[in-house]
Every structure is written in structure tokens, then in C-alpha cells.
């Protein structure tokens, strides 16, 4: 399945799952509101953020009640200022209240991912390095978080275990060496990229000789990263990994590596503080 088709399917299934999780057989508190009560509400962010999750919220309310109308004042990837109203909703008051938490949970998590990605991307915007996510994603939100990473200006590594080879230490040991592992990968799927994780310069040389497309330099020192760039001389894409933080990112980028993978983009994201406020209620 094509990535965009998979993402569209993920939006449909995840919103259905979230509504089932939260609403279950019915929102008993919303039943306190008269059925014919109509309301308008707006959602604000209490902090600076990068928006992500528009399609998820649209689909969630479409499933919940098609009468709810959403007016977006920002798009995925846009920067939001504190107290900015970025979406307004109008429809049956019961439905607005029922969908509130599920919608905000999606927005705050995906916007948190996009915001963190943007913060990292901005730090190296004047370099040619590409920042990559990893498979360290929140369970059940793989494609959603990887989409959010791109909204923040970073890039996706492989989506899962099926779209690229990533040969790590245990694979190398089980296969009998780097050369044997790369050779076997080529025999299985010649059209997929082959990446090898190495822990020192000697293993880098082996990976280059074996013809790896990408070499992941795991926890290399800055001096060894620079040496790796010189030795590789464009024969493979070099990806720095490990020990990447706010304090080390720019120095790693300055070594000349092509990519830097950062698990923190997705694995320990801080949710953005959002709030929905009802502005007007009337009977219809």
C-alpha cells in the first residue's frame, strides 16, 4: 500500500478506535444537555506550537456527527502563538462535548511531535544535514507521528521493518559478518535500501566494501564522525545516531554527516497545552 493511502487508512481506523475507547456505548454526561442545543466553540493553544492533526480531527467529528462544522485558521505545519485560536467548531452541543477530549488528545500529541521536530530542524537549518525520526514511536501512532515529524521540518527514516534493511549488531553476528549480511539482503530484495549500523571505523570500512547504501555511525565521537566522512567520500550516505541532544546536535551536524537520527523526536514527546472553550449556546 502506498504511504499516502496507508496514512488515510490510519486516520480512519485511529479515529474510530479513539471514539470507541472514549465514548463506548454512549456519553452519559452529554445527555445532560438538551438534544436541540446548538453551540459554537473555539480551540486555543496556551503555548507556542507547530500544528498537526487537522485531518484526524476532521475525520473524528465526521464520524461522530456530520452536522459539526469545523473552520480552521491554521494548517498542519503552521506555527501557533500562545492564546491563538486555530479552529472553531459549530454544531450540536452534545457532539462538541463528546468529541472534545479525543480531538484534543490527537492534536496535543501530534502537535507536540511536530513542535519538537521544528525545534530540532531550526537548529540546523543553515546546514545540509537531514534529521530523521526512528521507530521509537508511541504504540498505535506510528504513521501519525511520522507524518507529524514532516510537519515539523524533519524527515522519516524507514516506516517499519518492511521498507528498508537496517542491519544491526545482532543481525551481523547471526549472519556471520557485515559482508555476508549485506550480500543476503541484496539477494532478498535488490530494490530496497541496505543500511548497516557500525560501532567503529573498522566496521565502517567493512560496510563500505560490502556496498552498503547507508551506514549508521552509532555513538561515534566527533573526531571519528569527521574521519568517517573523509573515508567515505560520498560512497555511501552517512547517518549519525546516538548521543543526540540539544547540546550536541549542532556539533554533530558540523562534522559533515548526511543525516542524524533522533529517537527523541517521537518517543518522549511533551503534549501541547490546548483548550476548547464554548462561546455561544442556543436552542434550535
Burial class (CB in 10 A: 0-12, 13-18, 19+), 185: buried
Q: Which of 133, 218, 239, 258 is catalytic?
A: 218
Helix, coil or strand: residue 13: helix
Query: Each residue of 205-218: b (16+ CB within 10 Å) or e?
Result: bbbbebebbbbbbb
The cell numbers describing 165, all together, are 534493511
Question: Could you tell me which of 27, 141, 11, 166 has the C-alpha nearest to residue 95?
Answer: 27
Q: Which of 197, 203, 239, 258 is catalytic?
A: 197
Positive or negative, the Cα torsion across 254, 256, 258, 259?
A: negative
What's the chain's Rg over C-alpha atoms? 23
Active site residue 218: yes
Active site residue 146: no
Helix, coil or strand: residue 155: strand
Angle between helix 142-151 and 93-123 (nearest 10): 60
Q: Which of 36, 67, 101, 231 is catalytic?
A: 101
Active site residue 168: yes
The cell numbers describing 15, all together, are 479515529
How far from 41 is each of 86, 202, 267, 271, CA to CA, in Å?
A: 11, 61, 32, 21
Active site residue 213: no
Q: Which of 12, 63, 136, 183 is catalytic?
A: 136
> DSSP string covering 218-245, please?
ET--HHHHHHHHHHHTTSSEEEEESS--
N- to C-terminal Cα separation, the chain: 45
> How many residues would you count in the chain?
284
What is the rounded CA–CA span in Å between residue 25 and residue 84?
A: 34
Residues labelled catalytic: 101, 136, 168, 197, 218
Amino acid at each position: 500500500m502506498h504511504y499516502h493511502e496507508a496514512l488515510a487508512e490510519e486516520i480512519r481506523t485511529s479515529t474510530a478506535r479513539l471514539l470507541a475507547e472514549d465514548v463506548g456505548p454512549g456519553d452519559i454526561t452529554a445527555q445532560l444537555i438538551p438534544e436541540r442545543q446548538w453551540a459554537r466553540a473555539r480551540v486555543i493553544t496556551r503555548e507556542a506550537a507547530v500544528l498537526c492533526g487537522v485531518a484526524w480531527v476532521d475525520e473524528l467529528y465526521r464520524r461522530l456527527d456530520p452536522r459539526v462544522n469545523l473552520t480552521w485558521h491554521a494548517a498542519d505545519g503552521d506555527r501557533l502563538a500562545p492564546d491563538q485560536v486555530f479552529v472553531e467548531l459549530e454544531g450540536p452541543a452534545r457532539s462538541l462535548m463528546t468529541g472534545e477530549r479525543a480531538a484534543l488528545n490527537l492534536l496535543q500529541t501530534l502537535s507536540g511531535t511536530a513542535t519538537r521536530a521544528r525545534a530540532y530542524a531550526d537548529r540546523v537549518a543553515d546546514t545540509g544535514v537531514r534529521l530523521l525520526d526512528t521507530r521509537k514511536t508511541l504504540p498505535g501512532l506510528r504513521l501519525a507521528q511520522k507524518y507529524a515529524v514532516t510537519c515539523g521540518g524533519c524527515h522519516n527514516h524507514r516506516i517499519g521493518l518492511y521498507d528498508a534493511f537496517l542491519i544491526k549488531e545482532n543481525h551481523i553476528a547471526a549472519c556471520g559478518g557485515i559482508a555476508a549480511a549485506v550480500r543476503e539482503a541484496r539477494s532478498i530484495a535488490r530494490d530496497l535500501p541496505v543500511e548497516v549500523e557500525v560501532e567503529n571505523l573498522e566496521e565502517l570500512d567493512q560496510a563500505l566494501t560490502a556496498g552498503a547504501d547507508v551506514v549508521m555511525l552509532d555513538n561515534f565521537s566527533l573526531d571519528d564522525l569527521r574521519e568517517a566522512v573523509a573515508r567515505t567520500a560520498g560512497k555511501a550516505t552517512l547517518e549519525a545516531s546516538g548521543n543526540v541532544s540539544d547540546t550536541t546536535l549542532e556539533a554533530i551536524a558540523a562534522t559533515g554527516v548526511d543525516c542524524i537520527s533522533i529517537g527523541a523526536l517521537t518517543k518522549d514527546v511533551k503534549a501541547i497545552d490546548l483548550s476548547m472553550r464554548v462561546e455561544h449556546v442556543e436552542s434550535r
